[in-house]
């Protein structure tokens, strides 16, 4: 250590080229890499960054059609906007801090703001080709991993606009594949948010006439208690109804960007709903009772939005616009619009109140739902309070949770935000597995919660019985979501159970609990399944860990002689030093995914309800041998 400090010289200072920095610190630009199994994986961020530029053209009044083609690993996006200025095609795709989004007159309410998105696509692609068409002439450039290979100008007969073609680099993303279901969801959201825009995905058109109302009507998975309330104003659009499910299902968008983790606009929307409804009925209803079972969406348009990460999934802006303007005399003046909170509150207070006064039948149904939620909450809260007191006296909480130092809901400086994104809690079963993970985890960002055997089947039990369950109450207390989802303490909730029948059953029971009572944890992409290796293949010189049968066979061929194979059955069989590798930077996680159109009640009835003939037939048709199961990631 002393030598390292002593030898710190000018030679240790490195300057990376723009593309080298993006490739070395890809997480700063696209959040995560991944192989396409998760809708938050980087290959979808690359696609979104390119489409965002085309969306911004439409938002400025240019180009009503965007053509998107995904052919295996190759992606092409063609818009019919203004086209990139011909002399700037190379610069805007390969020079950081260069682009039209810094000019408020050219792009007033855009998603892409920092001149980084397209450069990230370029640097992280083995092939990146861009061509701009303007008035019968085009300018094109071709890159490989951000290095310019070819460029030129030529005469064309193409309509104005921009074409981008790219192939994500397998050196960065490994053996990846686009899941078209995820892409279709992304494209549909663009259509809902940009009425009049047609997006053609592999020849299939997506277009919306009623905006967010179409989104809710086409994707709601249960019968709403009353027709969705649809309110539109300048720079804001909302939809609101109630269902009988637990929790809230509210989608939020800024300038067409799906802000999965919400932010200031979603917080204002939730606050405004509760406040307006309370004042309308002249009743002091608790906000959680007003919002219980809410299904809705909010979209706002603001200038120069500030997002809390490059992936733009949470809005951090406080004001509708906040910038410094240069006066004619050379002085600078602060130009600050209304707060997002006041803007959303004022709009909803006026328009929702008016709507409820006019549609008295809707108001009556809404109040009936709120009263029912209030009665259930008061009954359950009393039970939970007693359960918490028992737990506190027994000091069970401290025994079950091995906490970490940093939490997702902490107010952290920008330099610590990346660590907050990494915060995780492993839900394990038994002392052996939890003990192993606790020894090797990153204590800054990784917590461990130990279950005692199998949780109850929440689908079959009453809400009262679930509220009396000590262990589940402790789990929710550890997560911090007892009162509000925004208090979530860990970004990643990771179910880590053995790859055997009991482990699979525990996994299903935990997922069922989240699905029924905290579905937003799943909808927002927080719940995952930990993959652990099924095999250890080694000889005297090398050890490889394999997650399926194909990886095992490849390892056996590679190591050739003196090979020993160990089949892991439980987490407790994996030694401490081995387990450290499996929950590090290359940790393999399967996302527990729930699309908006899937009915939670139907899912739980089929998988966790009575053993019907339909489920028996499903099991028989999908029954696999152990060898077949090893061929897929379990």
DSSP string, 308-324: SSTT--SB---BS-EEE
Q: Are the beta carbons of 206 and 221 closer than 8 angstroms?
A: no
Sheet holding 564-567, edge to edge: 543-546, 535-538, 564-567
User: Is the pLDDT confidence value at 2 over 80?
Assistant: no
- Tell me, which fold does domain 18-206 have in CATH? Heat Shock Protein 90 (3.30.565)
Q: How far is residue 399's CA from residue 451's CA, in Å, rounded to a whole number?
A: 11
Q: How far apart are the two ends of the chain, measured CA to CA in Å?
A: 42
User: Is the pLDDT confidence value at 93 over 70?
Assistant: yes
Give the range among 386-395, 515-524, 596-605 with minimum mean pLDDT: 386-395
Q: Between residues 613 and 406, which one has the greater pLDDT? A: 406
Q: Are the beta carbons of 161 and 58 closer than 8 angstroms?
A: no
Domain 395-532+569-630 is found in CATH 3.40.50.150: no
The residue assigned the tokens 């396409």 is 36
The residue assigned the tokens 């359950």 is 380
Give the range among 1-10, 92-101, 103-112, 284-293 with minimum mean pLDDT: 103-112
User: Is the pLDDT confidence value at 627 over 60?
Assistant: no
Domains of the chain, residue spans: 18-206, 212-376, 395-532+569-630, 535-567
Residue range 239-256: average pLDDT?
Answer: 88
Distances (CA, A) of 227 to 402, 500, 515: 46, 46, 24
Give the pLDDT band of residue 170 (cuts 50, 70, 90).
very high
Task: Give percent of the chain with pLDDT exceeding 70.
Answer: 88
Q: Which 3 state secondary structure label does DSSP give 586?
A: coil
In this prediction, residue 1 carries a pLDDT of 45
Residue range 83-100: average pLDDT?
Answer: 81
Residue range 549-567: average pLDDT?
Answer: 89
In this prediction, residue 271 carries a pLDDT of 94
In this prediction, residue 395 carries a pLDDT of 45
pTM over 0.85: no
User: Is the pLDDT confidence value at 113 over 50?
Assistant: no
Q: How far is residue 519's CA from residue 246's CA, in Å, rounded to a whole number?
A: 8
User: Is the pLDDT confidence value at 80 over 90?
Assistant: yes
Residue range 195-219: average pLDDT?
Answer: 92
Residue range 125-132: average pLDDT?
Answer: 95
319-336 per-position pLDDT tens digit: 888 777 777 877 877 777
β-strands 161-168, 125-134: how paired? antiparallel
- Which CATH class for the 212-376 domain? alpha beta
**Mean model confidence pLDDT for the chain:** 84
Q: How far is residue 69's CA from residue 496's CA, in Å, rounded to a whole number?
A: 37
Q: Which 3 state secondary structure label does DSSP give 573?
A: helix
Give the range among 164-178, 477-491, 581-595 with minimum mean pLDDT: 581-595
């Amino acid at each position: 250590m002393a030598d390292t400090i002593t030898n710190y010289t000018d030679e240790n200072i490195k300057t990376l080229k723009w593309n080298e920095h993006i490739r070395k610190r890809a997480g700063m630009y696209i959040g995560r890499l991944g192989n396409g199994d998760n809708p938050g994986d980087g290959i979808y961020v690359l696609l979104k960054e390119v489409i965002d530029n085309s969306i911004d053209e439409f938002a400025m009044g240019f180009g009503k059609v965007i053509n998107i083609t995904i052919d295996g690993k190759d992606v092409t996006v063609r818009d019919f906007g203004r086209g990139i200025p011909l002399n700037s095609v190379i610069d805007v795709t390969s020079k950081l801090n260069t682009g039209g989004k810094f000019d408020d007159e050219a792009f007033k309410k855009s998603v892409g703001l920092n001149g980084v998105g397209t450069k990230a696509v370029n640097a992280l692609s083995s092939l990146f080709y861009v061509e701009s068409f303007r008035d019968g002439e085009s300018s094109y450039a071709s890159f490989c991993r951000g290095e310019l290979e070819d460029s030129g100008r030529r005469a064309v007969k193409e309509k104005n606009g921009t074409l981008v073609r790219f192939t994500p680099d397998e050196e960065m993303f490994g053996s990846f594949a686009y899941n078209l279901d995820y892409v279709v969801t992304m494209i549909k959201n663009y259509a809902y948010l940009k009425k009049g825009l047609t997006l053609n995905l592999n020849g299939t058109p997506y277009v919306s006439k009623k905006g967010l109302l179409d989104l809710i009507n086409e994707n709601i998975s249960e019968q709403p208690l009353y027709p969705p309330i649809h309110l539109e104003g300048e720079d804001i659009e909302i939809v609101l109804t109630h269902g009988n499910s637990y929790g809230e299902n509210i989608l939020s968008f800024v300038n067409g960007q799906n802000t999965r983790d919400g932010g200031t606009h979603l917080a204002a929307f939730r606050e405004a709903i509760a406040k307006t409804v309370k004042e309308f009925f002249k009743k002091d209803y608790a906000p959680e009772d007003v919002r219980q079972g809410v299904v809705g969406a909010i979209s706002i348009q603001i200038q120069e939005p500030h997002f809390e990460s490059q992936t733009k999934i949470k809005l951090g802006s406080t004001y509708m616009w906040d910038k410094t303007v240069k006066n004619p005399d050379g002085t600078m003046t602060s130009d600050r619009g209304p707060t997002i909170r006041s803007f959303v509150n004022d709009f909803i207070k006026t328009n929702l109140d008016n709507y409820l006064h006019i549609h008295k039948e809707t108001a009556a149904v809404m109040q009936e739902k709120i009263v029912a939620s209030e009665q259930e909450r008061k009954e359950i809260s009393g039970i939970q309070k007693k359960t918490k007191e028992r737990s506190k006296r027994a000091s069970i909480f401290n025994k079950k949770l091995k906490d970490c130092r940093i939490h997702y809901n902490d107010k952290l400086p920008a330099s610590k935000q990346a660590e907050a994104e990494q915060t995780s809690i492993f839900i394990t079963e038994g002392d052996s597995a939890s003990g192993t993970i606790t020894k090797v985890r990153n204590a800054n960002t990784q917590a461990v919660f130990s279950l005692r055997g199998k949780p109850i089947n929440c689908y079959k039990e009453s809400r009262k019985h679930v509220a009396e369950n000590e262990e589940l109450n402790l789990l929710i207390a550890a997560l911090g979501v007892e009162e509000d989802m925004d208090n979530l303490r860990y970004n990643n909730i990771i179910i880590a159970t053995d790859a055997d029948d009991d482990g699979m059953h525990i996994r299903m029971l935990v997922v069922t609990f989240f699905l029924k009572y905290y579905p937003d944890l799943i909808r927002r992409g927080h719940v995952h399944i930990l993959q652990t290796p099924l095999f250890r293949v080694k000889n005297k010189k090398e050890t490889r860990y394999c997650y399926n049968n194909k990886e095992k066979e490849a390892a056996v061929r590679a190591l050739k002689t003196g090979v020993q194979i160990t089949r892991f059955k439980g987490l407790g069989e994996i030694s401490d030093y081995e387990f450290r590798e499996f929950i590090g930077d290359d940790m393999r996680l399967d996302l527990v995914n729930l699309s908006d159109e899937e009915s939670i009640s139907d899912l739980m009835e089929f998988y966790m309800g009575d053993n019907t003939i339909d489920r028996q037939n499903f099991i028989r048709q999908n029954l696999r041998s152990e060898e077949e199961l090893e061929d897929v990631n379990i």
